[in-house]
Every structure is written in structure tokens, then in C-alpha cells.
Amino acid sequence: MTASLEHERCYRAVASRDARFDGWFFTAVRTTGIYCRPSCPARTPLAVNVSFFATAAGAQAAGYRACRRCRPDAVPGSPEWDARADVVARAMRLIADGEVERSGVPGLAARLGYSERQLHRHLVGELGVGALALARAQRAQTARVLLETTAIPVADVAFAAGFASIRQFNDTIREVFATTPSDLRRRRPGAEAGAPGELTVRLAARPPFDAAEVLLFLGAHAVPGLEEWDGTTFSRVLDLPHGPAVVHLSPAAGSAVTARLRLAQLRDLGAAVARCRRLLDLDADPSAVDDVLGADPALAPLVSAAPGRRVPASPDAAECAVRAVLGQQVSVAGARTLTARLLPLAGTPLPEPVGTLTHAFPRPEALADADLSAVCLTGARRRTVTALAAALAGGDVVLDPGADREEAARSLLAVPGIGPWTAALVGLRGLADPDVWLPGDLALRRSLASLGSSDADAATRWRPWRSYAVLHLWALAVPSLFTRPLPDTLPDLTVRSAS
């Protein structure tokens, strides 16, 4: 059992089949040799026969196989890895993004600023397994998705999921799922069919979850050529490690989102899913957030009106940083226009347009060398974008999923033209930090004034979930971006006086 898990508390969650704990931990039953999600509908095992693990990889390493009934590999991820800022959480975010598949454990350790031995000690000390075992569990889950939702040849699935050989693939599937890849394919659960060349994946969230609201918020900020919103489905181009991809996101039954993906290479599936989950804040624990914010008399009515409200993020924090700079002192509509002008200058074009989607957002190295005169920025703003792109390309500013959030804020503030508001917005929507306050945001000030509160109050009262408080207050100030049909001219929800 993972040392940090309390046996009695975990067992109570299992006995009550509490779905809120799905993804927080996994239940391993010694008498059956399987591991389950806490809400598994099977008969509750005796307390003396169970152990608890913080990750599926830990249960697999201990010799347990995944339950075929509750599919513990399909649960939302643990919200702990987004909330924490230590090296284990940072490593977990990078592993989910596919860093081990791309650069191995040495590359993962280097990104975190640790030696391989130090990183292994941290991971094993808390989770019971190292980075390779964690990545192996993720590869098994990716393989299962491909086997159950596509007609891709089994041998191609193995390499697309990141396995080094067919033998390693077959052995892992047998160990994790107690079956063969061919059997998994024959038991395909009838996933929703997509267009030719598309994969359709169901992305689960902890209830309550209002997918329509999250997609509306993203659609209100959609940049022509990069993103598209038709009133129900939000689509965008993702800049993935092996080429640009297109994802179409729409609400699904049962606190979930349907993602239809068109990938340049199948081996980007894991990274695409991780970035979509971050974009929609699917791994959040709404009960924990609402318990804290709902206990405050000022916020209680807002929380009650919109339980489980999420913080929509960006699939790429570097993109978020550039868009935040472009959005300084202009309206939402103006920021969208300026951002759209960047795409043909430095963005990666799709092989062919998908609807109105044409380009991935420019990578920092391309943006640093681009002539931005056609974007019609002020001289100061143009210099800030160029300086930021150069800092991102040169590694002076690091904004990957494993970034140290405090160090990222300090390095952003060192870029001329970036102030506290912009750095905070990158933390909130780029790095998915759940505890960020936006200093100087006038929309927040208006909402706070109507509630009889102040910035100073908010700085302490709503920790560690201030990011969610920001969304509630934005919704109070600009409800059209959350619950009503979009007006022809969007108001500026992020007007500020500095940076």
C-alpha cells in the first residue's frame, strides 16, 4: 500500500462506492489478484484483503491486473498532481504528457533538474514505482483505447502506444488486463464512430461537470484558423510532438466529453489526451473546491448556482503566454484578431484545412524570428512578444507541464513588458495552477465590490482554490461567456490597469 494513503479512510470510500475518489487511489484485492476503482460495483471485499495504491502503475507492479468490470484505467486522473508543486507532481504531469516516450527517463530527470537516481528515489518513496513503470501503465491504457476504438492492425497499435517491441506489448497487455490484444479488440464496447482517419475517445470527469459551459468559455475566445466554435462543439489545432492534430470536443452523457481526434501520428495519442484533459480541467476535484468556496458567504450563492465549475486552460502554456501578451489592454475580440494574424506568419500549417482550421499556433523559435509588423502591434507590444518568444526558445522561460510554477512566474516577470497580471494568467490558464489570483483585474474588482469584498480578502480566504474563485467572479461580471448566447460583440472580461 502506498504509504500516504490511509487504509480506513480509503476503505470507507470503497464500501460506499464513492465515485468522487475514482482516480485518487486504486483498490487491490489479494484474494482475486485484481485492482479496481473505488466505485467498482462488485461485491465489497473484506478490509483485511485489500491494499490501496496511489497509481495504477503501483498496483500493476505489485502483481495485480485491472478489473474488467469497472475499467480502472478509464477514470479521471488524480487532482493531486495538478494541485501540488513538488517534484513528484511535476514528474507525473510530464509523464502524462509523454515525456518518457519522447526522451526517456534521463530526459525526464533533466527537465526536472534532478539526477535519475534522485528522481527515482522520490517517485519510489511516494508511489512505490519509478518513472518507467508509470510510463508503462500509460502505454497500456493508450493501447487499450486504440484496440477498442479503431481498426488499426494490432502490430501498429503496439508501436503507436509507445512499446519497443511486439513481445513487450503482448506481455504488458496480458499482465495488466489478463487478456490478449486480440481479445480486447473482439470485446470492443461499441465506441462512437468518427470520420475516416479519426479516433473517438471518451474523456471522463468527476461530477458535477458542465461540459457545455466549459466549451462555451473556450468558444468565446476562439481564434479563427486555430480554433472553431459552432455552438455545441469546440474544435482546435493541437501542436503535438510529431505534428499538428485537430480535436473536436463536444459534451457527452455522464459527466464526460467526446473527443474526436485527427492525429498526424498515432504515437501522439497519449499527449493529445493529456492536453485535452488539461484544457477542460477534467481531473479537478469539484467537491473539494466547492466545500471551501461554498463555505464563504460571499461566494456561496455563486457556487450553489454553478457547482463543479471548472477553470478552462490552454493545451500549451507557451501559447497561453503569447496570447496573454497580445490581449493586454485590448478587448477579447481584439485579442482574437491579433492572434489570428500571427498564424500565417509563423504557425505550422495543416496538410489541408479542416473546416476553418488551418494552422497550429506558432512555436517559440519560429515566432522569435518572425517579422511581426503585419500584426499591427504597438512597438512595445511587438518587442515583448519577440522577447518572450526568444526566452521560451532559449529555455530562459520554461512553461512545460513539469515547470516549477514559482520559477516560471519569476522568469516571466523578467521579460520586459510582462507584469504581475500577465504572469498570473499564465499560471492560471497555462500551467493549470488551481490557486492563482489575478492582481488588478477590473472584472474581478467589479464582482468583489458587488459582494462587499476586496482583493486583500480574496488573497487569503479562498486558498487553495483561488483560480476557481476567479472563474465564479468572472461569471458574475460577464455571464454571457458562461451561460447565455454569445453577443455579436464580446465584452472584455480581462481589462486591467497594468501589464
Q: For residue 252, what is the DSSP state? A: E
Say if 302 falls within a structural domain.
yes
Residue type (1 letter), 76: P
Inside any domain, residue 238: no
Domain boundary (74, 98, 130) is at 74
Backbone angles phi, psi at 184, to 5 degrees: -60, -40
Q: In what order do the strands lie in the sheet with 26-29?
A: 50-53, 26-29, 34-36, 65-66
Determine the Cα–Cα distance for residues 212 and 251; give it in Å rounded to an integer: 6
Pairwise CA distance, residues 321 & 314, whole Å: 10
Please check whether residue 100 lies inside any domain of the structure.
no
**Whether residue 67 lies in the annotated active site:** no
Local confidence band at 458 (pLDDT 50, 70, 90 cut-offs): low
DSSP-assigned letters across all residues of 309-324: ------S-HHHHHHHH
Residue 435 counted as domain residue: yes
Which of 74, 94, 127 is at the close of a domain?
A: 74
- What is the arithmetic mean of pLDDT over 80-103? 94
Task: Please give the Cα distance from 104 to 86 (Å, whole number).
Answer: 20
* Domain CATH for 379: 1.10.340.30
Ramachandran region, residue 423 (left: φ > 0; alpha: ψ -120 to 50; beta: rest): alpha
DSSP per-residue string spanning 153-165: -HHHHHHHTT-SS
pLDDT at 486 over 90: no
pTM score, whole prediction: 0.90
Q: Between the CA of residue 361 and those of 60, 145, 215, 223, 404, what are the distances in Å?
A: 38, 27, 19, 10, 23
Cell of 265: 501520428
Does the annotation mark 441 as catalytic?
Answer: yes
> What does the pLDDT look like over 60-70, one tens digit per residue?
999 999 998 99
Marked catalytic residue, from 210, 268, 290, 441: 441
If phi over 0 gives left and psi between -120 and 50 gives alpha, with beta otherwise, what is residue 71?
left
Across the range 44-72, mean pLDDT stands at 93
CA–CA separation, 257 vs 87, rounded Å?
A: 30
Predicted local confidence at residue 499, as pLDDT = 35
Average pLDDT for the chain: 90
Checking if the pLDDT of 188 tops 80, the result is no
Q: Which residue has the higher pLDDT, 494 or 283?
A: 283
Encode pLDDT of 244-254 as tens digits: 999 999 999 98
Q: Indicate the SS3 state at residue 240.
A: strand
State the angle between helix axes of 87-96 and 131-149 in degrees (0 to 180), rounded to the nearest 10.
30
298's CB contacts (< 8 A; 6+ apart) are 451, 452, 453
pLDDT at 498: 34
The residue among 141, 187, 188, 193 whose CA lies nearest residue 162 is: 141
**145 in a structural domain:** no
CATH number of the domain bearing residue 60: 3.40.10.10
- Let me know if residue 288 belongs to a domain: yes
Q: Which domain holds residue 54?
A: 7-74
Q: Which of 36, 40, 70, 276 is catalytic?
A: 36
212 is a domain residue? no
CB 310 within 8 A of CB 284: yes
Q: Is residue 135 domain-resident?
A: no
Specify whether the CB–CB gap between 295 and 185 falls below 8 A: no
Domain boundary among 31, 47, 74: 74
Average pLDDT over residues 10-28: 92
Total tally of structural domains belonging to the chain: 2
Q: Under 8 Å CB-to-CB from 346, ≥6 apart: which residues?
A: 362, 363, 366, 367, 369, 370
Q: What is the pLDDT of residues 107-165, one digit of tens each?
A: 999 999 999 999 999 999 999 999 999 999 999 988 988 888 778 889 889 988 889 89
Q: Would you say residue 493 has pLDDT above 60? A: no
